[in-house]
């Protein structure tokens, strides 16, 4: 079986004429964590033809459908708890300790595709939580509520972590007690800095002691946050940007906002069929990029779709 996930670093240009070109962002495609879990899925499916996956393997419907056609079956937590004597893939977002306990109890073999960066963060939070129990501290996680990665991170604390998503959530923190702050790996580094500063300000205003510890770990993924500057440049270099990502991709929404601030002619699509010819009127340079959960093969399909559309017009 040919692994399409391996095709993940291609500079692709489709020239329509001397005055118009379509370019695929050379830095677009899966992050290493997603590439790894899809490779694990493909390898298992090549051997067995069927594999369970706990939750969406990737927040991209086209890639998920491709894997389903190879034999991947998506299950939820209730379905997982009912299984016995089978093999289940753990996606890159990671899982709380209870998932591993259930697997051991039900003789479920796990193929653990948790991103190594997330694994490292889980260990840090687990260690910090153990220490916080001794000094009455609090574990605070800056992340999206109910996001699978955040659920896995909170699980390291017995679900006692405080999840903050916006400024209103800061009221959940007791500033008379120590705080250890962490971030979901795909959150914005810039916004994390804002929350760090606001928590620090609250400590100065509300804390009863100037010696109370406030520790912050910038656990945002450099592969995600490192794309910001490149995306701004890529967006500015093109007349039109087609941003390809799944409807449920948090990373996609975050990166698209960066693109949109640099190029007002940016369009978010989850399927090549949703592209409209009217978008390209008067454009000379068309750029195509996407989320870290968007496969290169899908970006290529989008480029081909645009090329065919414009050559007919």
Q: Among the options 61, 149, 229, 237, which is catalytic?
A: 149
In degrees, rounded to 5, the angle at the alpha carbon of residue 145 between the alpha carbons of residues 259 and 126 is 110
**Quick check: 89 and 52 in contact, CB under 8 A?**
yes
Q: Are residues 90 and 70 in contact, defined by beta-carbon separation less than 8 angstroms?
A: no
Strands 20-24 and 12-17, by their bridges, are: antiparallel
3-state secondary structure 213-225: CEEECCCCCHHHH
**CB 296 within 8 Å of CB 228:** no
How many Å separate Cα 175 from the centre of its chain? Answer: 31
Known active-site residue 197: no
How far the first Cα of the chain sits from its last, in Å, is 38
Taking alpha carbons only, the member of 239, 237, 307, 312 closest to residue 13 is 307
Report residue 84 as tokens: 């016995």
Integer Rg of the chain from CA: 22
Beta-strand pair 138-142/179-183: parallel
Let me know how long the chain is: 313
Question: Where does 57-203 show beta strands of DSSP type E?
Answer: 72-75, 87-90, 109-112, 138-142, 162-164, 179-183
| Opening angle at CA 202, ends 176 and 124, nearest 5 | 70
Residues annotated as catalytic (active site), given as ranges: 149
């Amino acid at each position: 079986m040919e692994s399409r996930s391996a095709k993940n670093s291609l500079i692709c240009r489709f020239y329509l004429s001397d005055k118009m070109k379509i370019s695929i962002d050379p830095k677009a495609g899966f992050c290493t964590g997603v590439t790894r879990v899809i490779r694990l899925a493909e390898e298992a499916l090549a051997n067995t033809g069927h594999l369970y996956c706990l939750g969406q393997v990737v927040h991209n419907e086209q890639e998920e459908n491709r894997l389903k056609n190879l034999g991947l079956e998506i299950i939820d937590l209730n379905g997982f708890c009912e299984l016995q004597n089978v093999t289940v893939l753990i996606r890159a977002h990671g899982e709380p300790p209870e998932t591993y306990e259930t697997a051991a109890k039900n003789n479920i073999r796990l193929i653990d595709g948790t991103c190594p960066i997330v694994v490292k963060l889980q260990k840090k939070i687990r260690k910090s939580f153990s220490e916080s129990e001794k000094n009455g501290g609090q574990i605070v996680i800056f992340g999206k509520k109910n996001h699978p990665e955040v659920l896995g991170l909170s699980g390291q604390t017995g679900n006692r972590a405080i999840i903050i998503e916006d400024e209103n959530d800061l009221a959940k923190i007791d500033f008379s007690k120590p705080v250890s702050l962490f971030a979901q790996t795909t959150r914005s580094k810039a916004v994390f800095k804002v929350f760090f500063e606001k928590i620090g300000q609250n400590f100065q205003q509300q804390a009863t002691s100037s010696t109370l510890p406030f520790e912050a770990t910038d656990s945002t993924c450099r592969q995600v946050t490192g794309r910001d500057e490149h995306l701004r440049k890529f967006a500015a270099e093109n007349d039109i940007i087609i941003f390809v990502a799944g409807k449920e991709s948090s990373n996609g929404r975050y990166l698209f906002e960066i693109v949109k601030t640099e190029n007002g002619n940016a369009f978010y699509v989850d399927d090549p069929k949703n592209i409209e010819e009217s978008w390209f009127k008067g454009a000379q340079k068309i750029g195509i990029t996407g989320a870290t959960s968007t496969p290169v093969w899908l970006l290529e399909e989008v480029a081909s779709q645009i090329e065919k559309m414009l050559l007919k017009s």
